[in-house]
Chains A and B, each alone.
Chain A
Amino acid sequence: MSNNVLSEELDHGDGVDRRGFLKCMAWAGTGVVWTLSAGILSSCNLSQASNASRGDFSFVQVSDSHIGFKNVPNMDVTSTFQKAIDRVGALANRPSFILHTGDVSHTSMPAQYDAVDQIFKGAKFNQDQVYYVPGEHDTFVDNGKAYLERFGQGSITSGWRSFDFKGVHFVGLVNVWNLKAGGFGVLGDDQLAWLKKDLDGLSASTPVVVYAHVPLWALYPTWGWGTTDAEQALSMMRRFGSVTVLNGHIHQVLQKVEGNVTFHTAASTAYPQPAPGEAPAPGPLRVVPDQLVSSLGIRQITFVQNAGAPVIVDAQIA
């Protein structure tokens, strides 16, 4: 989370400039609203988000629940995941579905997936509509067998999928299969071939949301924070007017804009990690207990009617 002020422009009538652009507003202490219009990224604070989020529909991204992790700084990741889902349940603008962008579990154990399942089943929203992609913690023990048995329904054999919702095309990519020594995330030829077919028939005006675990840009190669063949996937998407890429893995909110493609990494619900290069290694940041909850987050993404691109809000879990 950050308090950076990016730029200023706001239609105070309803929080949305319907003429085209929603310009940057400000990051607030409890969350940030990101607005995307015609590929332009901007932000506003959470109080403004309540207005801006009166859109066609919204969905939520949660990430890196790491159920099974038990160490400093979080000895009870199930509890913080529960808090995160309670936060989702309390959103004024109820999400139509949830995306979980991976590292559902910490060590791929069925009991860890059970815990996530149970928390979603008790949630105050339609818990049947949770779409997952795996993280490396969901695949390294058994090559993803338990993950796919639990969450792979409706996906292509190796866990990737696409679906359409109210005119927006969603693509869930998997970049944690067959990780190689020294390498980064990888999509692989089979998935790239599938992606090409999947996108081929779409109009360039279709808003596209891509979600995957490892960032699809070379965020910090020293720590493996990138995807080797992401460029091949991105090259298929540049013709679209609005592409929003949602990732997890690095346990912090970072953004990048590249033409009409915007990249957003998400906070974890389990523990924060250091900013790129600002520690000897990645891994859990040893924040003090009082600071833990403020370092964890959820994200709500709202598509505003006729805007063609979403408003994105990152918020602390409590």
Chain B
Amino acid sequence: MENFNIVPATITVAAGTTVVWTNHDDVEHTVTASDNSFSSPAIQTDGQFAYTFSTPGTYSYFCAIHPFMTAKVIVQ
């Protein structure tokens, strides 16, 4: 997360992969599933959030504080 963008906006991983997000911005962001199936707390500057995707599918998510920040994880 940098300059209010999630980079990369799409990643593809194998089932069972733990994805780690790092916030490089001066303000907090969240990683919140669009269907609210999971959500991080506020991720502080330079803080991280990890989530393990165990089931194949496409997981769209956004920042609950800045909803224009969107991305997705494709789990195969």
Contact = CB atoms under 8 A, between A and B. Distances in A.
Contact of A284 (B3, B26, B30): B26
A182 B28 contact: no
A140 B62 contact: no
A288 B12 CA distance: 42
B45 A224 contact: no
Contact of B42 (A107, A222, A283): A107
A182 B26 contact: no
Given A71-B26, A71-B27, A136-B65, A182 B70 contact: yes
Interface residues of B, number: 21
A140 B26 contact: no
Given A140-B42, A224-B68, A181 B60 contact: yes
Interface string A270-307: 00000000001111101000000000000000000000
Contact of A141 (B42, B45, B66, B67): B42
Contact of A180 (B4, B27, B66, B67): B67
A132 interface: no
Interface in B21-48: 25-28, 30, 34, 41-42, 45
A263 interface: no
A182 B68 contact: yes
A179 B42 contact: no
Contacts of A181: 34, 60-62, 67, 70
Contacts of A107: 28, 42
A283 B25 contact: yes
Interface residues of A, number: 24
A281 B4 contact: yes
- Looking at chain A's contact residues, the main secondary structure is loop
- Looking at chain B's contact residues, the main secondary structure is loop
Contacts, number: 57
A141 to B, nearest CB: 7
Nearest to A107: B42
Contacts of A179: 64, 67
Interface in A35-71: 69, 71
Interface in B51-76: 60-62, 64-68, 70
Contacts of B67: 179-184, 224
A270 B64 CA distance: 21
A137 B64 CA distance: 9
Nearest to A135: B65
A137 B65 CA distance: 6
B31 to A, nearest CB: 11
Interface in A160-182: 179-182
A195 to B, nearest CB: 22
Nearest to B33: A181
Contacts of B45: 71
Interface of B: 3-5, 25-28, 30, 34, 41-42, 45, 60-62, 64-68, 70
24 contacts: A71-B27, A71-B45, A72-B26, A106-B28, A107-B28, A107-B42, A140-B65, A141-B41, A141-B42, A179-B64, A180-B67, A181-B61, A182-B70, A183-B68, A184-B68, A223-B4, A280-B3, A280-B4, A281-B5, A281-B25, A283-B4, A283-B25, A283-B27, A284-B26
